[in-house]
A and B are shown apart, each in its own frame.
Chain A
Amino acid sequence: MLELVDVRVAYADNVAVDGVSLTFGDHETVALLGPSGSGKSTLLRAICGLEPLAGGRIVLDGRDLADVPVHERHFGLMFQDYVLFPQRDVRGNVAFGLEMRGDARATIERRVAEVLALVGLSGYGQRRITELSGGEQQRVGLARALAPTPQLLMLDEPLGALDRALRERLLDDLAALFAELSLPIVYVTHDQEEAFTLADRVVIMRDGRAVATATPAALWSCPPDAWTANFLGFHNVAEADVENGIAHTPWGDISLGSALSGSCTVVLRAEALTLDPAGNIHGTVSARTFRGDHVRVLVMTQAGAPLELEVRGGLPVEIGQKVSVAVDETRVNVLH
């Protein structure tokens, strides 16, 4: 079990990681999800020992790692854009950690073949790094990190540099691979789809802090705060005053179906909204974009705030058209 206790990393005058406390279970995949600059990559580097801590402790199975140098931690790290050794071929890259461990030549060859098979690159040993495609380099990076059987595997935006189609395919491969490995895995990404697909638990990072930790399902159904809701891609997020179960939002009054009062944040997710002549929010269509299986429609409400919704089925909507929007009160998120 890996524990981070109030970990801080600071450069000259800015704090990159600010008091992060987290626990990683033994067979758990945890995603660190956050926008770029939120400190997630720095946190990975700190766990590896590549960044000195300005405060806090990193504890592995009860042992403080403060005095354990990088090369004695036996962690696996896969870098963003992989950072493969250009002067070594595929075999040489994968074998590096094994050579450092002082394995016998035959053991190395066996393990290299095994790991290359695991990532689907059997027979690629003699290839030069420069001859590989982006996806192949990604797999070599993964194989290199896995070869010395690390006690913790960390991946820093492993799919970030790839194009969309390849990313989706590799995402499935990674999910299958993670299920097969029984290792604690820390997966850094800015992409919620990756995080939700792969992780048992998602940690939201913001400005160097871990602001929320939850399972993907819990996080999706109930984002903890307005910022997280926005980051997860919910566009209709607003402050509201609630009186007797009626929220006075910038879009208009919305019934919450419960007798709440006070101020809160209201999240109207796309599935809570439908175009319905009986709806009680009125407005004008100001933009629409075709998204394949749905049309994204932006409605400027009479109250003066834009509201975004997804329209499925062949309902024609024209810009400038007056519409009414109905809200499914059971699917409204209210955050305090």
Chain B
Amino acid sequence: MPLARRLATPALAALPLAFLGVFFVYPVVSILALGLAPDGVLDIGAALGVLTQPFVAEVAWFTLWQAALSTVLTVGLALPGAYVFARFEFPGRRLISALSIVPFVLPTVVVAAAFLALLGARSPFGIRLDHTIVAILIAHVFYNYAVVLRIVGGVWSQIDPRLEDAARVLGASRWAAFRMVTLPLLRPAIASAASIVFLFTFTSFGVILLLGGAQFSTLEVEIYRQTAELLDLRTAAVLALLQMTALVVLLFLYSRYQQRNAIQQRLLARQMVARRPRTRGERALVAANLLVMALLLGLPLLMLLERALAVPGGFGLGNFQALFATTQLSALFVPPIDAIRNSLLFAAACTLICAPLGLAAAVVIARGRGRLASGFDALLMLPLGTSAVIVGFGFLVALGNLPIDLRTSVILIPIAHAIVALPFLVRATVPVLRSVDQRLRDAAAVLGASPARVWRAIDLPIVSRAALIGAGFAFAVSLGEFGATLFIVRPDTPTMPVAVFRLLSQPGALAFGQAMAMAALLMLATGASVLVFDRLQTGS
């Protein structure tokens, strides 16, 4: 192999590694240092002193049980949905399936705003559930429903329905056939989906902060409060350590479980399996499930739009026009419209940073085999496993010590977004890159194409599509990023999610209307972009 080719892969890997090293590993190490050795000497006792304060146990316990309960509720509600989508064909099935993913990709502030519109003080239905655990749980189910629907439904649709038929003929009742045949085959998928839901709700930040009010605090929220409200970076660092430890343990348990549970089974193509509902019971099940989805997933988003368009005495664009206005005593120091401009600029910058890095990393992973490549892959996934709040907090703690003090620079925000977006981008692009069939290249070569022609004809179109998808992901993630941004944002350059958060924490109809309008814009932007990428990724 020529030297240039041999050096190409390490060179491609070097850039993302260096970026992660400076902007992720270093901040995390700084948190460790601040938590365990605040004065340069290791002081475990002090860290333990923080951890044994009664409020820590309270926060940790709340974090744990709300995540567990959210997971149980989400799985319980989404399993029937997974069954319906796996087994039945009905009008609008594909569209509803595509739309169901929208809540999952919405920025947390949008979700929180939508539920405040539905259940908050200005709800047209007069239900007051904000500042209750119920609102938090419903929002978590809303958020993660699609995770279970997609993961479990995907596996379910590939399980031969005749397995249950076989069990039935052998004397198993409907329920026994499900419990003894289908459930064991679904279990890894359910566990996988449940772990992801647990992870997301364990690290829930925006939803708790906005919907829960002051009395609910997860570890994430507490890290933010200690930092921003109490200015106690030490305590925050120790909490961050606790959070990271918990996540490492969770991820470890999860991967061990997944390894043990690979059941070999013959999978069928979905279209062989799904059929129209035939009996009255089946039709009722499909209808009931679609109703649940409409109420759970559709209604809050519709309410957000409705509240955004509601003006005194009817509907209009007043709230959107108000985005241009600065008001006295506003929690925002700038007109809300500036936040939109900021967000677009940050998202563009994030895309410029993240897309080349992510694409380079994805090429390395897609080409690579063996331990080195999978280690690289795992390293890139780390930010996903730590949570955005840790990223933001790490920036705050660490980046004052760099040769250039970046803390005052606005460039920090797109960099933080890039760290958060990188794992998503890599995950989205690797399958696209891997989709090039080697036989296509062989066929082109046999037909007389030179290696350069082969690359241009076969690889280039795929790589450009991967790049486009990656760029889109980076842009969408950046638009909605909240947890990390909140730590490093400067008062005069708010992003859209931060603006929604500030406006919602301010009393008055005007601020509420502005928040709804801004959240609606954010929802439309991210929702539309995700639907487009879904098409790009799966379409030919």
Q: Give A contacts to B, CB under 8 Å.
A: 11-12, 45, 48-50, 52, 69-77, 79, 83, 85-87, 96-97, 100-101, 128, 130, 144-145, 148
Contacts and interface: CB of A to CB of B under 8 A. Distances in A.
B401 interface: no
A96 B170 contact: yes
A52 B177 CA distance: 18
Interface in B244-287: 263-266, 275-276, 278-279
Interface in B142-200: 160, 162-163, 165-174, 176-177, 180-181, 184-185
Mostly, the A contact residues are: mixed
A87 B185 contact: yes
Contacts of B278: 11, 52
Interface string B14-55: 000000000000000000000000000000000000000000
Contacts of A52: 278-279
A50 B169 contact: yes
A70 B166 contact: no
A71 B168 contact: yes
A130 B265 CA distance: 8
B165 A144 contact: no
A175 B335 CA distance: 87
Given A85-B181, A101-B171, A148-B170, A50 B165 contact: yes
A55 B176 CA distance: 29
A57 to B, nearest CB: 19
A128 to B, nearest CB: 8
Nearest to B169: A77
Contact of B167 (A45, A74, A96, A128): A96
Contacts of A76: 169
A71 B263 contact: no
Nearest to A131: B264
Contacts of A12: 276
A42 to B, nearest CB: 13
Most buried by A among B163, B176, B185, B263: B163
Contacts of B160: 83
B52 to A, nearest CB: 46
Contacts of A50: 165, 168-169
B171 A148 contact: yes
Given A12-B276, A148-B171, A86 B263 contact: yes
A71 B169 CA distance: 5
A97 B170 contact: yes
Contacts of A75: 169
Contact of A144 (B170, B276, B279): B170
A83 B163 contact: yes
Given A71-B173, A79-B165, 16 more contacts: A11-B275, A45-B165, A48-B165, A50-B168, A71-B171, A71-B172, A71-B177, A76-B169, A79-B166, A85-B181, A86-B263, A97-B171, A101-B171, A128-B264, A130-B264, A145-B169
Contacts of A70: 165, 168-169
29 contacts: A45-B165, A49-B168, A50-B165, A50-B168, A52-B279, A70-B169, A71-B168, A71-B169, A71-B172, A71-B173, A71-B176, A71-B177, A73-B169, A77-B166, A79-B166, A83-B163, A85-B167, A86-B185, A86-B263, A86-B264, A86-B265, A87-B184, A87-B263, A87-B265, A96-B180, A101-B171, A144-B170, A145-B170, A148-B170
Contacts of A11: 275-276, 278
Contacts of B173: 69, 71
B112 to A, nearest CB: 41
Nearest to B275: A11
Given A85-B181, A86-B266, A130-B264, A100 B170 contact: yes
Given A12-B276, A100-B176, A85 B163 contact: yes
Contacts of A85: 163, 166-167, 181
